[in-house]
Structures are given as C-alpha cells and as structure tokens.
Structure 1
C-alpha cells in the first residue's frame, strides 16, 4: 500500500512540475512578444516624426541585436498617394530618432512629419491606428 501511494505522489509531483515549466515558458514567450510590439509602436511614432504624408506601415519583421541593443525593422511604408517603399531601418528603444535607413523612393520617403493617424500592421499581423 505504501509503495503505491509513493508512486502516485511522485507522478502527481512530476505532472505539477511539467505544468509549471510549460506555463512559465508560455509566460516568458508572451512577455517577449509584448516587448517586441511595444518597440514596434515606439518606432512607428518616430517614423511619423521622420517622414511626411504617411498613410500605412506594415512591419514585415523585427530583429534584435544583443551586441548593440538595437532593433532592425523591415517595413513597407505607403504614403497618402498610395505609393509604397519597402526598406529597413534601425531603432534603439526610447530614442527620438531612427537609426540608419536607406532611401528607396524619395517620393514616398519624404522628410517631414505625419500628424494624422496611420494604419499600422505589426509583425504579429495585429493592426492599430497610431
């Protein structure tokens, strides 16, 4: 009887540990994804301060460089005239300026400020007006 009880308690303990490990992993993954979305939102606000006449931004992907602490976003940016430019830019958290970016189309990537709300599609496919 004692042996059976010890086995039952051991199995229950193992199940509890496995559930805690899986739950912790899911929590950490969710926290990391939320951090990435917060960084993408920050970068779009700075993008609006850098370029004029924006209508829509689709963030294709975001990468993080542990060495420099910077992010790199690959985006498709569309202006109010419906023209688009596909390019990447660097961004450091809580900065007021973009890092390096290439000029692909000067008609779309026009220097200035966008004061109206724009449609943003984030890397996880969620959407928001910023």
Structure 2
C-alpha cells in the first residue's frame, strides 16, 4: 500500500514538472515569434518610408505571413504630414528588404517619394516607436 502511494506521488510530481517546463518552452517560443514579427514590421516601415513621401505616422493594424511565398502582408493606416490618413495593405519580403505590391487607395496621400523625417509607428502588438 505504501509503495503505491509513493509511486503515485512521484508520477504526479513528474507530470507537474513536465507541464511546467512545457509551458515555459511555449511561452519562450511565442515571445521569440513576437520579437521576430516586430523586427519585420520595423523593416517594412523603413521600406514604406523609402516608397512614400511625407509620412507622419504608420499604424500597423494586422500582419500576416505566407509560408508559401515567404512574404508578409501588412494592413496599415498611414497618416501624412497634413493629417490625412489612408488605410491600405502591402506586401513585404524580409530577405529582400523591400515592398511588394501595395494598394493605391489615395494618390494624394500615398505620394511616391522618400520620407526622411522621423515617423511615429504603432505596431500590431500595440507598442509604439519612432523610426
């Protein structure tokens, strides 16, 4: 009787340890994935600054990854220096560090050119930064 209780206790302890370690591993993996996504979003905004002129703010609403093409798709609200905003999507290839196709929704706001000034960025996770 005493031996079976001891064995049961050891099994429960082992299950708790395995469960805890598994949770820690999953949390670390999720954190790494979020950090990688943040790096990609930063890179994409830099490419956006090299594509459009007069950007004041970019809010990344949503980011998706296509494993077939290796590209990301960003849904953003971009605001220019006049305070006018446009909502559109664009593709981004991390390896080439360049934009792919993008939706031209308002050519007066999405003026082709270069933005050399600092841009406020709100990332998809809600954090903010200046690029």
TM-score relative to the length of structure 1: 0.96
Runs ≥4 residues deviating over 6 A: none
Worse overlay, 119-128 or 88-97: 88-97
Q: Which residue of structure 2 lines up, in the alignment, with residue 123 of structure 1?
A: 124
Q: Note if contact 2:43-2:97 (Cα within 8 Å) is conserved in structure 1.
A: no
Q: Which residue of structure 1 lines up, in the alignment, with residue 19 of structure 2?
A: 18
Pairs within 5 Å for 1:47-62: 47-62=48-63
Q: Note if contact 1:58-1:121 (Cα within 8 Å) is conserved in structure 2.
A: yes
Q: Which residue of structure 2 lines up, in the alignment, with residue 98 of structure 1?
A: 99
**TM-superposed deviation, 1:26:** 1.1
Q: How many residues align?
A: 130
**TM-superposed deviation, 1:107:** 1.2
**TM-superposed deviation, 1:44:** 0.3
Unaligned 5+ segments in structure 2 are: none
Instruction: Report the 3-state secondary structure (helix = DSSP H, G, I; strand = E; otherwise coil) of the residue aligned with 1:5.
Output: helix
1:31 aligns with 2:4: no
Q: Note if contact 1:58-1:77 (Cα within 8 Å) is conserved in structure 2.
A: yes
Alpha-carbon distance in structure 2 between the residues aligned to 1:96 and 1:32: 19
Q: Which residue of structure 2 lines up, in the alignment, with residue 64 of structure 1?
A: 65
Unaligned 5+ segments in structure 1 are: none
Q: Note if contact 2:88-2:103 (Cα within 8 Å) is conserved in structure 1.
A: yes
Alpha-carbon distance in structure 2 between the residues aligned to 1:120 and 1:105: 20
Q: Note if contact 1:42-1:94 (Cα within 8 Å) is conserved in structure 2.
A: no
TM-score relative to the length of structure 2: 0.95
